[in-house]
Every structure is written in structure tokens, then in C-alpha cells.
């Protein structure tokens, strides 16, 4: 965990407001966040804040803008690519200095990038990768590593049997990146006949209720003979667990996830969800704000190339580290870092069964 925190600190420090501060950022070398007498204005076009994870992003982004003394305008498209396109048009009309986009549709968002670049506005692709070689930065967590960690955990806990793959939205590059990495991990076991993929599906908008429906169908089609649901985020994992609970199988089948949502952490503490991938949000949002300030001031960023397989092009990227969390290390990761409170995580666990408080 020390190496995770160190790398996150370094990433944020190399890069270097509104409300709801979630934590302090490492100091930045970007200098005062203004251009002459004019404050830097950052536009952040978000796809959604329906999930807890994205609420954390918005709050952290707003807080760090305030801490850095920059203006920020945040829009939310409610999972509509057309609405997000309108949001971007409005942000550009408001003369933002930098545009940050968490895209709803990776391909449609490329047109938004074109519009911004035509007006000389730098663009940051936030968390989700836009299918455009014109972006100035892709900033996210290590999405390929997330995919591998999810599959590796499932394979370790269920080395044999039937697997059901629950991917994210087909319009989201992250879903495809994770699928590629998950299958790379699982393919040797598939080739040996040790595991079998008996169901797989991309889930529109990563929706919990659609994941629940798919899981119910997968269980029915396989007479409940499923050893692992390889699920790509916590929201969908919650839907899968609901389907398993109806069959009295919750806690008896491996269920993976990512995002470390509080309900998922509670499910892990209860033994219903097997694991999640913990992605510290504050360092990501802070680093994005600090990168935006640098782009507005035409200062260089410390990046590495990342290949976007959808367009076969490299884009400049900053990717933060992640870690796997399960029942065994909840205390040493999530709780120790202050990401979630002990009493919240173990809310549904009888006191006699809880670990000792730190």
C-alpha cells in the first residue's frame, strides 16, 4: 500500500475551485492558477453522477478547483451523448480555457474534441478514453491493470468451473480495455478446459438492473451451475448479487467489481461480493485539475504514451495505480486510508464478527 500511495503522490505532484473538499492535494509547481489578471476557467463535461463513484469525482474536482483558485463549470449529461454534446457546446461558449470530458460515448465524444481544438481549447479525456488522437491528455487509473486484477482474482478463487463475464457499456473504451485484459488472463485456463465462459454481455450504461437481468438469465440457462461472475464494476456486481440472492447463492459464487463503492464494501464485509478494485478518486481529480492548469498556461505535462486500440494511435497519458481489495485487506486499505469509515463498511456485520477497530 505504501508503494501505491507513493506513486499517487508522485503522479499528482508532477502535474502541478468550487466546494466539498475531500482531502488535500500535494503541492504543485504550476504556480498561481491565472493567466495575467484572468482566472483559469476549466469546463468539466461529465457523463453521469448516478453512481457513488462519479459523485466523488465531481466533489473532489470542485474542491481542488477551489483550492487552486480556478473557476470550474461542471455539467452532467445523465448518460446521454447528445446532451453531453450540447453541454460541451455551452462550455465552449462560456470560453473555458481547458475542457475536461468524461465521455458517455467514446466515439461520439471525438467530435466534441474536434470542436474544442478548432477553438484552440486543450482537451483532457478523464477516466474514460475518447477515440481521438487530438486529446492533450488521457488521465485515468491503470485500466488494463484493473481488468487483469479482476480476472486474476476470479481465477485464483475459482480455478475451475463455469464463468459469466459481465462487461461495462459497449460505448465505453474502458469496458473494452478490461475485456481484453480479462480474457488474456483467462484464456490459458479456457484452453486447458479448466474454465468455460458460459455467458458474456456488455451492459448498457453499466446499469445495475440490466446486470441483474443478465445474471438471472445466465443462472437459469446453466441450472445455477456458475462458479464465477467476472463483473467489471461494483454497480453491476450489486445486480449480480441480487440475482444470486434469489437463488440462495450470494456468497457462494465469486463476484468481482471495481470502484470501492460503499455498498460494495459492505457486501465484501458481509461475504456476498468477493472483491473490488480500489481506485483513489481524490488523487485522480486533483491531478486532472493540475494538468488542466498547466495546459491552460501552456506548460508541459509529464506523460507516457498509451495506445488506444480503437483508433490504433498513441495518446499522452497519466495512469494512477490501483489495488485489489477483499475481505482480508479491507482494514489495511480502504479503512486505513480513510476512504471509508469502519462503522459504515461493517454496518451490516454483527459486532462479534467484526475485526478490531484500528
> Are residues 256 and 231 in contact, defined by beta-carbon separation less than 8 angstroms?
yes
Query: CA 23, CA 122: separation in Å to the nearest integer?
Result: 27
Q: What are phi and psi of 283, to 5 degrees?
A: -60, -35
Given a cut of 80, whether residue 245 has pLDDT beyond it is: yes
DSSP 334: I
| Tens digit of each residue's pLDDT (9 = 90 or more) over 19-31 | 333 333 333 444 4
* Structure confidence at residue 37 as a pLDDT band (50, 70, 90): low
Secondary structure class of 243 (helix, strand, coil): helix
Give which of 275, 291, 41 is closest to 155, Cα–Cα: 275
> Are residues 94 and 75 in contact, defined by beta-carbon separation less than 8 angstroms?
no
Given a cut of 50, whether residue 4 has pLDDT beyond it is: no
What region, left, alpha or beta, does residue 110 occupy, with left being phi > 0 and alpha being psi -120 to 50 degrees? Answer: alpha
- CA dihedral for 345, 346, 349, 353, sign (positive or negative): positive
pLDDT of residue 14: 39
Other C-beta atoms closer than 10 Å to the C-beta of 300 total 7
> Are residues 46 and 76 in contact, defined by beta-carbon separation less than 8 angstroms?
yes
Query: CA 75, CA 88: separation in Å to the nearest integer?
Result: 8
Residue 62, CA atoms < 13 Å, CB-side half-sphere: 16
Instruction: Give, for 231, the enclosing helix (H) or strand (E).
Output: strand 228-231
Ranges 11-15, 65-69, 303-307: which has the least confidence: 11-15
Q: What are phi and psi of 202, to 5 degrees?
A: -80, 140
Residues ≥6 apart with Cβ < 8 Å to 188: none
Given a cut of 50, whether residue 230 has pLDDT beyond it is: yes
Q: Which residues pair with 58 in a beta bridge?
A: none
Query: CA 2, CA 132: separation in Å to the nearest integer?
Result: 35
DSSP 25: P
> Are residues 99 and 121 in contact, defined by beta-carbon separation less than 8 angstroms?
yes
Give which of 268, 10, 15 is closest to 124, Cα–Cα: 15
How big is the chain, counted in residues?
A: 358
pLDDT of residue 10: 39
Residues ≥6 apart with Cβ < 8 Å to 343: none
Q: What is the pTM of this model?
A: 0.84
Domains defined for the chain, CATH in brackets: 2-141+280-320 (3.40.50.2300), 144-278+323-353 (3.40.50.2300)
Given a cut of 80, whether residue 47 has pLDDT beyond it is: yes
Query: CA 103, CA 169: separation in Å to the nearest integer?
Result: 12
Longest CA span, the chain? 68
Rg of the chain (C-alpha set): 20
pLDDT of residue 16: 38
| Tens digit of each residue's pLDDT (9 = 90 or more) over 130-161 | 999 999 999 999 999 999 999 999 999 999 99
Amino acid at each position: 500500500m505504501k508503494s501505491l500511495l507513493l506513486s499517487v503522490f508522485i503522479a499528482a505532484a508532477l502535474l502541478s475551485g468550487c466546494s466539498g473538499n475531500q482531502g488535500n492535494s500535494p503541492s504543485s509547481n504550476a504556480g498561481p492558477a491565472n493567466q495575467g489578471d484572468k482566472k483559469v476557467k476549466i469546463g468539466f463535461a461529465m457523463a453521469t453522477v448516478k453512481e457513488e463513484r462519479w459523485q466523488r469525482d465531481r466533489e473532489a474536482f470542485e474542491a481542488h478547483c477551489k483550492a487552486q483558485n480556478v473557476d470550474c463549470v461542471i455539467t452532467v449529461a445523465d448518460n446521454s451523448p447528445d446532451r453531453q454534446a450540447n453541454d460541451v457546446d455551452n462550455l465552449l461558449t462560456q470560453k473555458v480555457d481547458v475542457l475536461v470530458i468524461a465521455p458517455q460515448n467514446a466515439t461520439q465524444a471525438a467530435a466534441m474534441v474536434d470542436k474544442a481544438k478548432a477553438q484552440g481549447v486543450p482537451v483532457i479525456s478523464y477516466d474514460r478514453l475518447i477515440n481521438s488522437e487530438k486529446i492533450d491528455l488521457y488521465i485515468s487509473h491503470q485500466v488494463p491493470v484493473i481488468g487483469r486484477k479482476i480476472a486474476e482474482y476470479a481465477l485464483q478463487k475459482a480455478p475451475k468451473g463455469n464463468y459469466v463475464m459481465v462487461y461495462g457499456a459497449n460505448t465505453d473504451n474502458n469496458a473494452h480495455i478490461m475485456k481484453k485484459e480479462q480474457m488474456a488472463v483467462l484464456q490459458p485456463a479456457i484452453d486447458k478446459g479448466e474454465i468455460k465462459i458460459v455467458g458474456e454481455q456488455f451492459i448498457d450504461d453499466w446499469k445495475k438492473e440490466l446486470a441483474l437481468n443478465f445474471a438471472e438469465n445466465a443462472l437459469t440457462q446453466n441450472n445455477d451451475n456458475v462458479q464465477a461472475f467476472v463483473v467489471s464494476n461494483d454497480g453491476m456486481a450489486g445486480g449480480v448479487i441480487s440475482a444470486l440472492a434469489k437463488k440462495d447463492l450470494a456468497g457462494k459464487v465469486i463476484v468481482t467489481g471495481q470502484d470501492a463503492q460503499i455498498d460494495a464494501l459492505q457486501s465484501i464485509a458481509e461475504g456476498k461480493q468477493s472483491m473490488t478494485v480500489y481506485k483513489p478518486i481524490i488523487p485522480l481529480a486533483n491531478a486532472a485539475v493540475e494538468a488542466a492548469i498547466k495546459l491552460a498556461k501552456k506548460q508541459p505535462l509529464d506523460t507516457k504514451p498509451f495506445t488506444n486500440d480503437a483508433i490504433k494511435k498513441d495518446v499522452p497519458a497519466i495512469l494512477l495505480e490501483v489495488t485489489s481489495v477483499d475481505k482480508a485487506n479491507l482494514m489495511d486499505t480502504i479503512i486505513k486510508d480513510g476512504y471509508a469509515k469502519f462503522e459504515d463498511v461493517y454496518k451490516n456485520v454483527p459486532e462479534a464478527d467484526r475485526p478490531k477497530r484500528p
